[in-house]
Amino acid sequence: MITKLKLSKFRRFYVTKILISHDILQSRKGESMKDKKVKLPNRVPTKQILKILSSLYPEAKCELLYRNPFELLIATMLSAQATDKKVNQITPFLFQKYKAPEDFLALSQQELEEEIKQIGLYKTKSKNILETCRILVEKYNGEVPKSREKLESLPGVGRKTANVVLSNAFGIPAIAVDTHVFRVSNRIGLAKSDQVLETELQLMKRIPRNLWSNAHHWLIWHGRRVCTARNPKCEICSLQPYCQYAKENKIVQLKKN
Ligand code: SF4
């Protein structure tokens, strides 16, 4: 009897694992997320948490400077492993000189490297930006495509960049999981995973679709201002009563006088 029970638990565990891995593989191919079986790890008061975040950051938005989908695509590509602040220091000048993919294509890779050399990984980024601009001109008439699959096929554009462009430039709901969203959502308990994609799938399942883009900004803003990577300010955090990390670390909120 005990052996049978153990065997069925064992099977259930591996079937669940296989289902999650299958979902991840499918989504990597750019297929629809609809109807995918994503297992939520724990019960958390999602509504309450989102309500607090929305009241803390009603003005939250993308902090990269851009005026159109093309500029957002380039700014997001530049922001990989660099801060938005650093990217914003160079893009206004860059976009003043080079407004469209054709303008970038007039540059050699060395010339573009010179323009963006204050940003980390500038050599790889220059190569990817030029190749992306070439594809935009040749395949998409110089426009940024609105499809995840097409965006992800561009050099230097991964799932996170595609999500940023889809949600901010085209208003298509998406949750881009960057370092802040990953850290904050896993600390709070909205997600429970050491994988970026699995975190995104769990957030998509837990958060109503019409709030995906807002929630993405709220979590980033909270991560930058309160739930910082080192020394999160739990004692003053409004989410503390609902936060798994605070519970596990027995953190008590400071009483307001
Ligand atoms: S209580 Fe602490 S860990 Fe939880 S969200 Fe707030 S700052 Fe982050």
Instruction: Return the beta strands (E) in the chain as ranges.
Output: none
CA–CA distance from 76 to each of 88, 129, 163, 164, 165 (Å)? Answer: 11, 11, 10, 8, 8
- Nearest atom within ligand 1 for CA of residue 234: 2
The position carrying tokens 């299958």 is 22
Asked whether residue 35 is assigned to any structural domain, the reply reads: no
CATH of residue 132: 1.10.340.30
How many domains does the chain contain in total?
A: 1
Q: 23, 178, 192, 205: which is the annotated catalytic residue?
A: 178
The whole-angstrom separation of Cα 219 and Cα 225 is 10
Kindly state if the Cβ of 73 falls inside 6 Å of ligand 1.
no
Q: Going residue by residue through the chain, which has 257 residues, state the pLDDT in tens, using 9 for 90 and above.
A: 444 444 444 344 333 333 333 333 333 444 345 445 777 777 889 999 999 999 999 999 999 999 999 999 999 999 998 999 999 999 999 999 999 999 999 999 999 999 999 999 999 999 999 999 999 999 999 999 999 999 999 999 999 999 999 999 999 999 999 999 999 999 999 999 999 999 999 999 999 999 999 999 999 999 999 999 999 999 999 999 999 999 998 777 766 55
Does some domain include residue 234?
Answer: no
Task: Give yes or no for residue 189 CB within 6 A of ligand 1.
Answer: no
Is 201 within a domain? no
For residue 250, the 8-state DSSP code is T
Q: Does residue 155 fall inside a structural domain?
A: yes
Structural domain span for residue 96: 69-170
Cα angle for residues 113, 117, 119 (degrees, 5° grid): 120
